[in-house]
């Protein structure tokens, strides 16, 4: 023979042990001997008939089943005769078009099998993989098909796919992101939240590493964490921030069936909680800073915190004036002023403001995430940062807007949460400012009341002192008047008495002359007179009596002078302004207080010629008296008190200098304060110098002090000669020379 001897068997002959052998050219080599052919046929028969897989021999021209092995008969459930009388289409549930499509798909995919659905004798339809190869018998072609039932496998695969879809739906519904990475940190599984967060389809993530998905800086951080987690195993919770959002990621290592360590992670969006914590912290800081910083600095700090909290890059804050028509610029953040070269008025009308001021006009927050698209936009003043996004919120009190706070240019769109954040901070800032203003106003009012109360107290004390001095003056004037009358009588009577005594002494002298002439002859007649004169020490009495009269007259004159000085010091009408001789008043005052000075003080007078001064003389006398008394009390044992006067231009001055203990430098500024005294308890009220300073102020004058401890003190009174002309001039109240 020229080729391999093949026999074209019938369907019956193929499976009949007595039939001619069926030899496949691909399995049998061409041999010349009948024995080799018989052996090949026997081997084929064993392979076909006894194969553990169902096998069919099919005529490709008419698709008739030519032969079936035992497993095929058993699998399909028909007897062999019935099965071999059937066409392939009788067991295949697919339509011819579907079969051709499957064959074309297999060819294009280079599959070694076809996926069909075969019907069994029981009516059950099974999924099968048909592995077919072309065989040739004596020049006639047949298809040898091996049937592999994959129904259970496909069912398992479908169940697995169903479970995978269910698992995917489950993790997609998880309120956070889920991922699984292999040992090379490539994505194996992701859920829908992660896909949506990144804005890419799932297939764009599977098989990718962090550096292929995220920006390098963020990818470096999470890659380092992932590597450490793969190395350490176990579980860990980390906090992550991406695109302005905050996440809590629970990471854990797992192993697959092959023992490969995988990395899984569950991330929960903690942005709201984080922002709530940040907002709480900011509100606490606002309350803490409210009492520490000046108003503008406080508002600037609050605006900066609001800008940071809303992830903005600019911020501004305005007050709305009571007229609700004008705005007062308070502060901008550094971002808004970056590159600013133009200065604008702090006050301007609401009508000229852009749509950011709609929050005033409408009394509600406004949000613009596409600022450039609004035709009514005005933006910020020229030279400031441009606007892309903006929110502006009003702080409303009653029916009036008190403050506007706005932020802008966040990297992503603003949300209602940003408006709520800004509103809370704005309301808190205004609450603190309003409270601080109220407290400041209350403090100012309190201070004013304290000043008024202090002035009232001082005025009351001074009034009492003035009334006391007036009463003393009236009493002194009355006493002086009452004393003047008897002193006048006494003075007049002393003059008459002196004359009488002079006459009587002359008469006595005449009697003595008679006595001397009569001599011893008449001595008994004058014995009683001599005894009386001796008993009365007449010679001494006659000599001393004129001296007594002179001393009494001098004493009465001195009393008259003291009464006159007292009357001059405390004369009525002490609150009346008039022209007065200050030097006479000084002398009167010295005489009044002389009793306190005479035992330890030597008074030195250094007077200049003073003009008449327009003043309330009794009040100036009171000031001089206070200075004299203080000077006397400052001298412990013996000392000198010098009183000087002088004229300088249109002013006169009076100095009271003592050689007393002096006043320490740190106490000199306080000596004019009411109730302040350096004296021991019970020796002073602390009002003398305070009243003196007040009197000098009312006279448009001043009282000056120079003192050295251990050396002494000098008080100088400076008065305008004409206080009427000094009423409109500045009042200098210096307290030291």
Architecture category of domain 156-269 in CATH = 2-Layer Sandwich (3.30)
Span 71-80, average pLDDT? 94
Q: What is the pLDDT, as a whole number, of residue 334?
A: 81
Which residues does residue 349 pair with via DSSP β-bridges, in sequence order? 326
* pLDDT 10s digits, 523-554: 677 777 778 777 877 778 778 788 888 778 77
- Residue ranges per structural domain of the chain: 11-149, 156-269, 279-441, 444-565, 573-720
- Is residue 478 predicted with pLDDT exceeding 80? no
| Per-residue pLDDT band at 81 (split at 50, 70, 90) | very high
CATH level 3 topology of 11-149: Beta-Lactamase (3.30.450)
> Please, is 636 exposed, middle or buried when counting C-beta atoms within 10 Å of its C-beta (0-12, 13-18, 19+)?
exposed
> Please, is 493 exposed, middle or buried when counting C-beta atoms within 10 Å of its C-beta (0-12, 13-18, 19+)?
middle
The values of phi and psi at residue 605, to 5°, are -105, 125
Residue % of the chain over a pLDDT of 90: 19
DSSP 564: H
- Is residue 127 predicted with pLDDT exceeding 90? yes
Q: What is the pLDDT, as a whole number, of residue 240?
A: 83
Architecture category of domain 279-441 in CATH = 2-Layer Sandwich (3.30)
Contact (CB, 8 A) for 187 and 207:
yes
3-state secondary structure of 356: helix
Q: What is the pLDDT, as a whole number, of residue 7?
A: 27
Q: What is the pLDDT, as a whole number, of residue 72?
A: 93
Question: Whole-angstrom Cα distance, residue 207 to residue 194?
Answer: 15
The answer to which of 215-219, 286-290, 346-350, 590-594 has the lowest mean pLDDT is: 346-350
Question: Whole-angstrom Cα distance, residue 58 to residue 47?
Answer: 17
Residue 472: how many other CB atoms lie within 10 Å: 15
Question: Whole-angstrom Cα distance, residue 218 to residue 267?
Answer: 15
The answer to which of 61-65, 671-675, 680-684 has the lowest mean pLDDT is: 680-684
CA dihedral 356, 361, 365, 370 (to 10 degrees): -40
| Per-residue pLDDT band at 521 (split at 50, 70, 90) | low
Q: What is the pLDDT, as a whole number, of residue 384?
A: 58
| Per-residue pLDDT band at 69 (split at 50, 70, 90) | very high
CA 579 to chain centre: 64
Q: How many residues does the chain have?
A: 737
11-149 matches 156-269 in fold = yes
* pLDDT 10s digits, 412-471: 899 898 999 899 999 999 998 888 888 888 988 988 888 888 777 766 666 666 555 555
Which residues does residue 179 pair with via DSSP β-bridges, in sequence order? 190, 265
Q: What is the pLDDT, as a whole number, of residue 381?
A: 56
Secondary element (H or E) of residue 331:
strand 326-332
Question: Whole-angstrom Cα distance, residue 13 to residue 67?
Answer: 9
**For the chain, what is the mean pLDDT?**
80
Q: Where are the alpha helices (DSSP H) in 291-415?
A: 295-309, 334-337, 358-362
- Is residue 203 predicted with pLDDT exceeding 70? yes
Residue 9's nearest CA partner among 73, 57, 53, 48 is 57
| Per-residue pLDDT band at 645 (split at 50, 70, 90) | very high
Cα distances (angstroms) measured from residue 367 to each of 357, 415, 418, 429:
11, 8, 10, 21
Q: What is the pLDDT, as a whole number, of residue 154?
A: 87
Q: What is the pLDDT, as a whole number, of residue 20?
A: 38
User: DSSP string covering 101-151, please?
Assistant: HHHHHHHHHT-SSEEEEEE-TTS-EEEEEEEEEEEEETTEEEEEEEEEE-H
Q: What is the pLDDT, as a whole number, of residue 382?
A: 56
Rg of the Cα atoms in the chain: 65
The CATH class of the 573-720 domain is: alpha beta
Residue % of the chain over a pLDDT of 70: 81
- Tell if the pTM clears 0.75, that is, is over it: no
């Amino acid at each position: 023979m020229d080729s391999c001897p093949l026999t074209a068997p019938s369907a019956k002959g193929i499976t009949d042990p007595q039939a001619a052998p069926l030899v496949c050219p691909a399995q049998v080599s061409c041999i010349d001997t009948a024995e080799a052919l018989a052996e090949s046929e026997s081997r084929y028969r064993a392979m076909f008939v006894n194969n553990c897989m169902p096998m069919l021999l099919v005529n490709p021209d008419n698709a008739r089943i030519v032969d079936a092995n035992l497993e095929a008969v058993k699998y399909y459930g028909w007897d062999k005769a019935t099965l071999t009388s059937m066409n392939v289409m009788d067991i295949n549930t697919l339509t011819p078009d579907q079969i051709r499509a499957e064959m074309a798909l297999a060819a294009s995919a280079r599959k070694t099998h076809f996926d069909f659905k075969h019907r069994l004798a029981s009516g059950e339809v099974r999924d099968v993989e048909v592995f077919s190869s072309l065989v040739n018998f004596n020049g006639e072609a047949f298809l040898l098909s091996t049937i592999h039932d994959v129904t259970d496998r496909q069912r398992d695969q479908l169940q697995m796919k169903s479970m995978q879809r269910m698992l995917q739906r489950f993790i997609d519904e998880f309120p956070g992101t889920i991922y699984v990475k292999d040992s090379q940190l490539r994505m194996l599984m992701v859920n829908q939240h992660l896909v949506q967060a990144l804005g890419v389809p799932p297939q764009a993530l599977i098989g990718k590493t962090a550096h292929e998905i995220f920006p390098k800086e963020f990818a470096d951080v999470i890659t380092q964490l992932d590597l450490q987690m793969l190395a350490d195993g176990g579980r860990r919770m980390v906090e992550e921030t991406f695109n302005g959002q905050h996440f809590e990621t629970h990471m854990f290592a797992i192993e697959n069936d092959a023992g490969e360590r995988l990395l899984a992670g569950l991330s929960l969006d903690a942005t709201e909680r984080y922002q709530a914590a940040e907002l709480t912290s900011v509100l606490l800081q606002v309350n803490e800073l409210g009492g520490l910083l000046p108003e503008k600095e406080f508002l600037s700090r609050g605006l900066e915190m609001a800008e940071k909290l809303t992830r903005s890059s600019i911020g501004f804050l305005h007050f709305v004036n009571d007229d609700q028509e004008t705005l007062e610029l308070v502060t901008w953040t550094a971002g808004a002023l970056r590159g600013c070269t133009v200065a604008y008025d702090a006050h301007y009308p609401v009508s000229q403001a852009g749509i950011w001021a709609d929050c005033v006009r409408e009394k509600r927050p406004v949000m613009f995430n596409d600022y450039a698209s609004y035709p009514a936009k005005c933006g910020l003043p020229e030279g400031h940062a441009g606007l892309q996004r903006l929110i502006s919120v009003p702080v409303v009190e009653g029916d009036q807007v008190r403050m506007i706070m706005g932020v802008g240019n966040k990297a992503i769109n603003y949300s209602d949460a940003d408006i709520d954040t800004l509103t809370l901070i704005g309301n808190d800032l205004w609450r603190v400012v309003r409270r601080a203003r109220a407290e400041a106003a209350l403090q100012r009012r309190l201070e004013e009341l304290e000043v008024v109360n202090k002035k009232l107290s001082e005025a009351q004390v001074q009034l009492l002192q003035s009334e006391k001095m007036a009463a003393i003056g009236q009493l002194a004037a009355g006493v002086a008047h009452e004393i003047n009358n008897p002193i006048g009588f006494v003075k007049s009577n002393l003059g008459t008495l002196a004359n009488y005594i002079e006459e009587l002494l002359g008469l006595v002298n005449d009697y003595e002359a008679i006595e001397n002439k009569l001599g011893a002859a008449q001595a008994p007649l004058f014995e009683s007179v001599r005894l009386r004169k001796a008993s009365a020490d007449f010679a001494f009495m006659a000599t001393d009596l004129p001296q007594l009269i002179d001393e009494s007259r001098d004493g009465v004159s001195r009393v008259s002078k003291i009464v006159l000085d007292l009357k001059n010091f405390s004369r009525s009408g002490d609150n009346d302004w008039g022209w007065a001789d200050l030097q006479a008043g000084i002398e009167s005052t010295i005489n009044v207080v002389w009793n306190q000075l005479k035992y330890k003080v030597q008074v030195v007078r250094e007077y200049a010629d003073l003009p008449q001064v327009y003043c309330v003389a009794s009040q100036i006398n009171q000031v001089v008296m206070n200075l004299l008394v203080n000077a006397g009390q400052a001298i412990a044992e013996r000392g000198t008190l010098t009183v000087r006067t002088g004229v300088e231009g249109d002013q006169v001055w009076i100095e009271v200098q003592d050689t007393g203990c002096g006043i320490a430098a740190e106490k000199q500024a306080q000596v004019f304060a009411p109730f302040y005294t350096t004296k021991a308890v019970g020796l002073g009220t602390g009002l003398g110098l305070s009243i003196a300073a007040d009197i000098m102020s009312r006279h448009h004058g001043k009282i000056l002090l120079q003192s050295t401890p251990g050396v002494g003190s000098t008080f100088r009174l400076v008065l305008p000669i004409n206080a009427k002309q000094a009423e409109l001039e500045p009042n200098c109240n210096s307290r030291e020379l």
